[in-house]
Amino acid sequence: MTITQQSEDVKKNQILKSAHECFSKRGFDAVTMEEIAKDAGLSKGAVYWYFKSKDELILELVKNWCKVGENALYKMALECPLEELIYKYPTYVIHEMDLQHHYKLIFHLWSRSMENESVYKELREAIMDGRKKAIEFIKTAIAKQLFKPEIDPNALALTVDALFDGLMVQWHFDRSMDIEKSWKSSIDMLMAGVR
């Protein structure tokens, strides 16, 4: 990679980081490209050089967000045994993706996906890809006799996703809730049924 390419990547990442911050705080519609440029320490023209529109920037954020999640899963898979992954992954993601500060971005993305077909497709692809990986994880756990053989991998993957998303919604309305502790308690109950 050339020095010019590294510099380009740094600028693009600056824009994505600033967009992430701004959108998390105020939503997509309230934030302007000019605000993102100012936050990134770049000119408005520089932002438009990398991203032709706000929607293009949002799509790149979705891809970036998913990449961070995938990297977190890959790192966790290397660091802990399979039976601990279901407990540790969400907690790790909460910290790695700084969800306590940026969880609103997820809600904004869900909302935007109802209005914008491109965002819907990108987000759906990421969710489906995540589900496929979860199903493979569950099949491996069944093969290693960590889960009951009659467990439906797709149903369990859906349940775990719904549980995590639901806890995020609950945490949004009750900030006194310890989302990590709630996750562990919920997974303990779920695991009692599948082991």
Residue 108 zone, left/alpha/beta (φ > 0; ψ -120 to 50; rest): alpha
Q: Do 184 and 101 fall within a single domain?
A: yes
Q: Do 61 and 145 fall within a single domain?
A: yes
CATH number, position 184: 1.10.357.10
Q: Do 4 and 18 fall within a single domain?
A: yes
Render pLDDT for 27-52 as a digit per residue (tens, 0 to 9).
Answer: 888 999 999 999 999 999 999 999 99
Spatial neighbors of 15 by CB under 8 A, at least 6 apart, are 36, 37, 40, 42, 46, 47, 50, 51, 57
Q: Do 10 and 83 fall within a single domain?
A: no
Render pLDDT for 127-162 as a digit per residue (tens, 0 to 9).
Answer: 898 889 889 888 988 998 888 899 999 999 999 889
Q: Do 94 and 137 fall within a single domain?
A: yes
Q: Which domain holds residue 153?
A: 54-194
Q: Do 175 and 88 fall within a single domain?
A: yes
* Tally of structural domains, the chain: 2
Q: Do 130 and 34 fall within a single domain?
A: no
**What pTM was estimated for this model as a whole?**
0.77
Task: Give the span between the Cα atoms of 100 and 172, in whole angstroms.
Answer: 9
Considering only CA atoms, which of 70, 63, 69, 55 is closest in space to residue 23? 55
